[in-house]
Amino acid sequence: MGYFELNNGVKVPALGFGTYQMPPAITEENVAKAINLGYRSIDTAQNYGNEAEVGAAVNGSGVSRDDLFVTSKTQTSGYKTTLRGIDESLRSAQLDYFDLMIIHWPTIDNSGTYKALEEAYQAGKLRAIGVSNFNSSKVQKLIDRAEVKPMIDQIETDVYWQQNKMHKFLNQNNILHESWAPLGEGLSPVLSEPAIIRIAEKYQKSTAQVILRFLTQQHIMVIPKSTNPVHIAENLNVFDFKLTDDELDIIKSLDQGHSGVNWPSSMGQEAY
Ligand X SMILES: NC(=O)c1ccc[n+]([C@@H]2O[C@H](COP(=O)([O-])OP(=O)(O)OC[C@H]3O[C@@H](n4cnc5c(N)ncnc54)[C@H](OP(=O)(O)O)[C@@H]3O)[C@@H](O)[C@H]2O)c1
Catalytic residue among 3, 39, 48, 160: 48
The count of residues in the chain is 272
Residues with Cβ within 8 Å of 11's Cβ and at least 6 positions away in sequence, in order, are 3, 4, 5
CB 5 within 8 A of CB 12: yes
Nearer to ligand X, 78 or 106 (CB): 106
Name the one range near ligand X by CB under 6 A: 24-32, 115-123, 177-185, 251-259: 177-185
Beta-carbon-side half-sphere exposure of residue 140 (alpha carbons within 13 Å): 7
Distances in Å between the alpha carbon of 238 and those of 34, 187, 203, 234? 15, 22, 11, 8
The distance of closest approach from Cβ of residue 225 to ligand X in the complex, given in angstroms and rounded to an integer, is 3
Output the DSSP codes for 81-108: HHHHHHHHHHHHHT-S-BSEEEESS--T
Q: Which of 13, 55, 182, 260 binds ligand X (CB under 6 A)?
A: 182
Give the footprint of ligand X on residues 120-139 (CB under 6 A): 132-133
Whether 48 is catalytic: yes
Residue 134: how many CB atoms within 10 A of its CB?
A: 27
Among 134, 180, 214, 272, binds ligand X (CB under 6 A): 180
| Per rule CB under 6 A, count of chain residues that contact ligand X | 27
Position 59, amino acid? N
SS3 135: coil
Contacts with ligand X, 74-103, as mask; x by CB under 6 A: ------------------------------
Single out the residue of 13, 18, 130, 260 in contact with ligand X (rule: CB under 6 A).
18
Restricting to residues 199-258, name those near ligand X by CB under 6 A. Answer: 206, 208, 223-228, 231, 234-235
Q: Which is nearer to ligand X, 83 or 183 (CB)?
A: 183
- Bridge partners of 42, per DSSP, are 17, 70
* Residue placing its CB nearer to ligand X in the complex, 185 or 247: 185
DSSP H helices in 69-178: 79-93, 110-122, 136-145, 164-172
Q: Which stretch binds ligand X (CB under 6 A): 109-117, 137-145, 181-189, 193-201?
A: 181-189
Residue of minimal Cβ distance to ligand X: 18
Query: What distance in Å separates the CA atoms of residue 31 and residue 64, rounded to the nearest whole number?
Result: 15
Contact residues toward ligand X (CB under 6 A) are: 18-20, 43, 104, 132-133, 154, 180-186, 191, 206, 208, 223-228, 231, 234-235
Provide the annotated active-site residues.
48
